[in-house]
Amino acid sequence: MRDRILFEHELAVVSILHNESRYVGEWLEYHYRLGVDKFYIYDIESEDRAELVQILKPWIQAGIVDYNDQKSMGEFLQILSDVSFWKRCDCRYLCMLSVYEFIYLKENRSLLEFIDEHFSRNIATASLAITRIHFGSSGEEFYRDESVVERFTKRSKPDVWMNNRVTSIMNPRRIRSVDHDAFGKYYGGALAFDENQNWIKWETTPIKSTEKIQVNSYYTRSKSEFEELARNPHPNPYRYRSPDVIKVLDTDAFEDTSFRDFYRKFMRLPMPNIRERGDQVIVNNLLKMLEPTMNPHASDKIFEGNAEMFMTCFLLALRNRRIDERKMRALELLALESLYHAMTLPDFRMWEILWIIDSYPEFMQSDSEPANKIIRGIKGLMHELILDVASAGRDWEDYIDLLYRQKLFDLI
């Protein structure tokens, strides 16, 4: 992927915690080894905050974890929405993962290689949807200070209703919104596909494809741990709390040690190195991506299909003016001129228009003629797009989105 050098992080994970310090160390190290290079940890009203901060301290100092101390239980959906919007240009891929969930890649290659291949198959791909497989209590009555992966090896039957949900690894620039189960709705008809390119329309799906990758969920853990979870408030109000949950997962559960066996070998491998990324790297990478557009005789092929890249360059330059005001301002204007050129080409897509509209405050912050020219161009396209969507009978959500944004633009 040509634009991968732009992003500070390859794969970021968002996780919202409440009284889960004793589980976070194992989960964090495993996923860092797997290829996650940024964690946005939100701790909401935890009673074990001091222990959690102590565990996270070396990860925070290394720049791998961003720790956020939240004060309100009601902020769950707001956190997911804010991260998907404000971090959309910081990472290539974004995943919302709980500390009881472990991504299990069964192929002998890196997770990033697997994700890259998935997204390269179809231009409409916004997400890799991974089936969750739930493990029950494995007969454990109480908490033991040992690895979760080692303790719980009995998985629930395939037809258990909790096994019809997915975890999403998303292109954050295509996210329109996220729901309570961290399943995305995407701009302009972009879709979620599973490992076999089956379209996954909702967070629940009858399709359970786990030949290549799955997410192991150790939601209940032992019986006493689940009872504690069910008693206490949690930032996600949609969590399963019924005592029947553990009964359902334990009924006819069967031994499956495949992930545990993989985990034992995998955790003995050397830790990956932290990727260094200083201010000069950001400048150089932006320049490298935009340099081809400086040629006055550059062909349209330089701009075709690259609106997302130019938009990302603009936002990164705008946010990093502190590095060098003059240089970043010049790169910002160059990215905007390139974006405008891309807008004039036939392959300019509706989801890119919606993204530009949603980024209106940042265009205002730029306060430049190229930014104003793009906004004027978008306004001119709105009416034409609304008629096109209505006449083609496309996704009604796109239609409503466009009408809503047109109303907002009429007020500007």
One pLDDT digit (tens) per residue for the chain, 412 residues: 567 788 989 999 999 988 899 999 999 999 999 999 999 999 988 889 999 999 999 999 999 999 998 766 556 677 877 888 888 888 999 999 999 999 999 999 999 999 999 999 988 899 999 999 999 999 999 999 999 999 999 999 888 888 888 999 999 988 877 876 667 778 766 788 999 999 888 777 777 789 999 999 999 999 999 888 877 766 555 566 677 888 889 888 899 999 999 999 999 999 888 776 678 888 899 999 999 999 888 899 999 888 889 999 999 999 999 999 999 999 999 999 999 999 888 877 767 777 887 888 888 888 899 999 988 888 777 766 666 655 555 555 666 666 766 666 665 5
Q: What is the pTM of this model?
A: 0.88
Q: How far is CA 172 from CA 8, 10, 45, 70, 242, in A?
A: 14, 12, 27, 23, 33
**Helix 279-290 and helix 325-343: axis angle, to 10°?**
30
Find the helix or strand (DSSP H, E) in which 361 lies. Answer: helix 360-366
**Gap between the Cα atoms of 367 and 312, Å rounded:** 17
Give the total residue count for the chain: 412
Contact 289, 5 (CB under 8 A): yes
Residue 401 confidence (pLDDT) = 67
Domain locations in the chain as residue ranges: 2-266, 279-411
**Gap between the Cα atoms of 291 and 285, Å rounded:** 10
Residue 376 confidence (pLDDT) = 84
Classify domain 2-266 by CATH architecture: Alpha-Beta Complex (3.90)
Q: How many CB atoms lie within 10 A of CB 184?
A: 25
| CA 389 to chain CA mean position, Å | 28
Q: Which two tokens stand for residue 220?
A: 């209940």
Residue 315 confidence (pLDDT) = 92
Residue 27 confidence (pLDDT) = 98
